[in-house]
Structure 1
């Protein structure tokens, strides 16, 4: 199983202040298709918060947009997963079946530039009975899928073998544990997660605010790592990556596996209606 990435190593700039996402809103989450060297990024549309309308962008590794599609009534875009198959097929996993702007189930589909999808166009899964706010991500290193969900209002994670999940066998999850340790301040906004081997990475923090989170303090963004075998907090580290950005809100975390693992954190910047995004990386070892 993949070694964990040390959250204390310095972050390096990878993509900087890109304005290539189709919508003028912030980046919500992102994930890699490493076979075809694509980066998929989700946004909520300008008017889509209440309905859960998302825009899915496909970018190259330089941040150039190669296409985009719309997902009407899917959710908030808290996380995203990419599933690669040996024949070259690529499946995108997102939340779906939005209520009050958040997906109550999950689905997978193929990217199609220019397309518009609704819940009627996809097969929606509800793998966790009596749960709310389902948000998936995929680890191709372990061929597992995780779903963040709420049970009685409390956020938790459940992890399955990906092939079993695809076959709709949800009876034997690999792990199930509560979300913990994302930020020293329990009220800080949760901003995304990613699964890689036996590590589950989280990002939390808020945008700059002159009173509560002034730029002079370089932000309140934290990265954390949970051990999926125990659910325990293994490491947490504050990051000042991209502190010179205006607005600077943490938005999404992802793992790029090759050639060496990178933990990638997304940062939104600039003013409302003209948002940009940056990605910083913390590099692991081969």
Structure 2
């Protein structure tokens, strides 16, 4: 049964714990960098606990041929932001993305077009007093799938088009500089503790090895993303270590306190939420949970996971894209579910 948050628990959630649990050790992959962790303990979401479904089968700005990849929240203004990527990718225009601004039920309020940015599998909405900053991948596009190989942020603006090359003055580079970073940074945001996480590929020669690194948002905003600025860094288990097939694709990550929550799955199949302790190392995980949320959706595919703050308390929100028809003219829809209990 999920425990109610005590005053002590709320202090922990709010960052009021001064003591830090430190764990260090070698990741399980041969040449991978040493893990590093100094994350204070915190509650964990109950993945089989109570939740809800605030967005159900909503069409975004480009419903035909463009699928949701990730989403985030600006709850102070009552807005959600969804990023869409073309499915399949147009070989002549790799890396193009649409961002749709909606109300909290998924009704469209505005949209913005990003050219030559990336795949959109990681996006952060950082609220400000005005329009939010959008953290996303960008530049040096992979010629095969258009995946962005650097990190950046820019200010959201309804109706705008921003080209990564031609409008570079509107974009702030925020690529990690830690030793193990090679490429493909995917940002994620913990609004409760005000921390930014990057998932990224390492220099490992034998295979692509994925790691995560956690920073304070203040350091990240000011470009302090180096070795000495890490709160935590560790390897992500590969699919074999997670007991998943090689076709259970990674579909998003978000940190909340001590834990990182990862979404895996593929269209018309099972979907999983995996929990990692950022104070742990290598191929370890805390929990793997099969979610049946949205089981009735046509072409159901997990797409994106984010923290949604409601009355000062976090919810673990995760999304599914649904599809009517076949590529490249299929109509895509977005649905979002959440978990709200802690233990």
What is the TM-score of this pair, normalised by structure 1? Answer: 0.89
Query: What's the CA shift for 1:279?
Result: 1.1
- C-alpha displacement at 1:21, in angstroms? 3.4
Unaligned runs of 5+ in 1: 209-218
Cα distance, 1:184 vs structure 2? 2.3
1:123 corresponds in structure 2 to: 172
2:284 is equivalent to residue 237 of structure 1: no
1:45 Cα shift?
3.3
Of residues 49, 59, 78 in structure 2, which corresponds to 1:19? 59
Unaligned residue ranges in structure 2 (runs of 5+): 1-11, 14-42
Partner of 1:37: 78
The structural deviation recorded for 1:90 is: 2.2
* Greater CA drift, 138-147 or 4-13: 4-13
Instruction: Identify if the C-alpha distance between structure 1 residues 115 and 46 changes in structure 2 by more than 3 Å, giving closer, same or farther.
Output: farther
Does the 8 Å CA contact 1:42/1:54 hold for their aligned counterparts?
yes
CA, structure 1 residues 48+73, in 2 after alignment: closer, same or farther (shift >3 Å)? farther
Q: Given the alignment of the two structures, is residue 65 of structure 1 paired with residue 125 of structure 2, yes or no?
A: no
Provide the secondary structure at the position in 1 that maps to 2:149: strand
Name the structure 1 match of 2:257: 197
Residues 41-63 of structure 1: per-residue CA shift (max 9 Å, x gap):
10113575551111111111011
Whether the 8 Å contact between 1:206 and 1:249 is mirrored in structure 2 is yes
SS at match of 2:331: coil
- The alpha-carbon deviation at position 186 of structure 1 amounts to 4.5
- SS of the equivalent of 1:233 reads coil
Render the CA deviation track for 1:225-276: whole Å, top value 9, x for unaligned: 1112225422211011111111101111111121342211111112242111
From the superposition, tell whether residues 181 and 8 of structure 1 become closer, same or farther in structure 2 (CA, over 3 Å).
farther
In the alignment of these two chains, the number of paired residues is: 275
Deviations 1:10-49 (A, max 9, x none): 5532211111333422210011112111111101135755
Q: Distance in 2 between matches of 1:223 and 1:46?
A: 24
Aligned residue for 1:168, secondary structure, equals: coil
Match of 2:193 among 130, 142, 157: 142
**Bigger Cα Rg:** 2
Alignment of 1:161-240 (within 5 A): 161-171=216-226, 172-180=229-237, 183-187=242-246, 188-208=248-268, 219-231=269-281, 232-240=284-292
Deviations 1:52-96 (A, max 9, x none): 1111111110111111111111111111112234x4552111111
The ranges of structure 1 where at least 4 consecutive aligned residues each deviate by more than 3 angstroms after the TM superposition are: 45-50
2:323 matched to which residue of 1? Answer: 270
Q: Measure the CA separation in 2 of the matches of 1:164 and 1:202.
A: 24
Query: What are the superposed Cα offsets for residues 187-208 of structure 1, whole Å, 9 maximum, x if unpaired?
Result: 1111111122222111000111
The RMSD of aligned alpha carbons is 2.1
2:125 maps to which of 62, 82, 99 = 82
CA distance in 2, matches of 1:192, 1:118: 24
Q: Distance in 1 between matches of 2:262 and 2:87?
A: 26
User: How much does 1:8 deviate?
Assistant: 2.0
* Contact 1:23 1:45 (8 Å CA) reproduced: no
In 2, distance between residues paired with 1:99 and 1:173?
A: 27
Partner of 1:5: 45
TM-score (norm 2): 0.75
